[in-house]
Chains A and B, each alone.
Chain A
Amino acid sequence: TIRPQTYSNVADNSGARESMRIRVPGASNRQYASIGDMIVAVVREAVPNMPPKGSEVVRAVIARTRKGLNRDNGMAIRFDDNAAVAIDREGNPKGTRVFGPVARESRECHFAKTVSSAPEVLRGIRRNRMMLR
């Protein structure tokens, strides 16, 4: 569960490194955001010389949470960190690559479509993305 003020890693190469959640758009006082929810966040730490600067407001989809998800088949999934992927207002990702495993539930906002057509697939220790079924 991502609450307001929660820091999460940014799991793509959009240029932001860490973001802090401000709101969940579309609900007046929604406290918790989980995997698959879109959030409004402010960039707290960014890669130097790249578009998102610190204190720029971005939208993101939550890709991983430590709290995890409970699947319908009874399996509970937990991740290692809280991570989000920066997107624009339409739902297309801002970066080209996604890092780390990603839960299938983060399919809101056309996330799945655009991520699976990501041009670069990085294999090796830092995996591009893995859709966990």
Chain B
Amino acid sequence: MRLEKCWFCSSTIYPGHGMMYVRNDAKIFRFCRSKCHKNFKMKRNPRKVKWTKIYRKLHGKELPQDTTFELERKRNRPERYDRNVVEDTVKAMKKISETRVEREAQTLANRMRGKKTQQRREDLAELQQGIHLVKAPTALLEEPSLTLPKEKMKVKVSVEQESKAMES
């Protein structure tokens, strides 16, 4: 028994799932579900379809290359059963998947860095522009307690001008 990868979306195909299509040139395409198979029949290129792993790796959304992936390489020669080897392999598999998960989380964090501040800035702009949808503009003036959140702005002040102002 072997866990295959879906040709289209690269997810694992567990036994009992999916379909295998054999082309007349003897090339085999495995699909994890009919969604992938139907996309294949539509002649879509998985590199251009946004939800596939290939697209995400190609466009830097996910960890593209890593040593942890190389350890999962397909091996065609069957190994003679050795209990110790099996034990070590199982331990290693755990460790490898842990590191991979860590690294993927790291890439996600890197990709999303600065997103919070950007989002906050965008929200503030939206508030300032669209506050009339929520409250009448005159209401803001009448009630001093209603204010829009202030944005912390970094202002550059040249030291020379400041000293001149202080002198005069």
Selecting from A16-24, A106-114, A122-130, the interface stretch reads A122-130
A117 CA to B106 CA, complexed, in Å:
56
A64 CA to B26 CA, complexed, in Å:
12
Q: Bits for B12-54, please: 1 = Cβ < 8 Å to A, else 0.
A: 0001111111111110100000000000000000000000000
Q: Inside 8 A of A75's CB, which chain B residues have their CB?
A: 15, 18-20
Q: Inside 8 A of A95's CB, which chain B residues have their CB?
A: none
Looking at the assembled complex, report how far the CB atom of B12 sits from the nearest CB atom of chain A, in whole angstroms. Answer: 14
Looking at the assembled complex, report how far the CB atom of B30 sits from the nearest CB atom of chain A, in whole angstroms. Answer: 8
Q: Inside 8 A of B141's CB, which chain A residues have their CB?
A: none
B25 touches A78 (CB 8 A): no
A127 touches B20 (CB 8 A): no
Q: Check if A119 is an interface residue, CB within 8 A of chain B.
A: no
Which among B16, B20, B23, B26 has the highest number of chain A CB atoms within 10 Å? B26
A127 CA to B1 CA, complexed, in Å:
26
Q: Inside 8 A of A91's CB, which chain B residues have their CB?
A: none
Q: Check if A77 is an interface residue, CB within 8 A of chain B.
A: yes
Residues of B contacting A: mostly: loop
Q: Inside 8 A of A130's CB, which chain B residues have their CB?
A: 26
Band of interface residues on B:
10 to 19
Q: Inside 8 A of B19's CB, which chain A residues have their CB?
A: 75-78
Closest residue of chain B to A125 (Cβ to Cβ) is B25
Q: Inside 8 A of A79's CB, which chain B residues have their CB?
A: 21-22, 24
Closest residue of chain A to B27 (Cβ to Cβ) is A101
Q: Check if A74 is an interface residue, CB within 8 A of chain B.
A: yes
Looking at the assembled complex, report how far the CB atom of B106 sits from the nearest CB atom of chain A, in whole angstroms. Answer: 36
Q: Check if A132 is an interface residue, CB within 8 A of chain B.
A: yes
Q: Inside 8 A of A64's CB, which chain B residues have their CB?
A: 22, 24
Q: Check if A100 is an interface residue, CB within 8 A of chain B.
A: yes
Looking at the assembled complex, report how far the CB atom of B130 sits from the nearest CB atom of chain A, in whole angstroms. Answer: 53
A100 CA to B24 CA, complexed, in Å:
5
A126 CA to B27 CA, complexed, in Å:
11
CB within 8 Å of B: which of A44-93?
64, 73-81
Q: Which residues of B contact A (CB under 8 A)?
A: 1, 15-26, 28
Given A75-B19, A80-B22, A100-B25, 14 further pairs, Cβ under 8 A: A64-B22, A64-B24, A73-B1, A73-B16, A74-B17, A76-B18, A77-B21, A78-B20, A79-B24, A100-B24, A125-B25, A127-B26, A132-B22, A132-B28
Q: Which residues of A contact B (CB under 8 A)?
A: 64, 73-81, 100-101, 125-127, 130, 132
Give 4 closest A-B pairs by Cβ, nearest first.
Answer: A74-B16, A101-B26, A127-B26, A76-B19
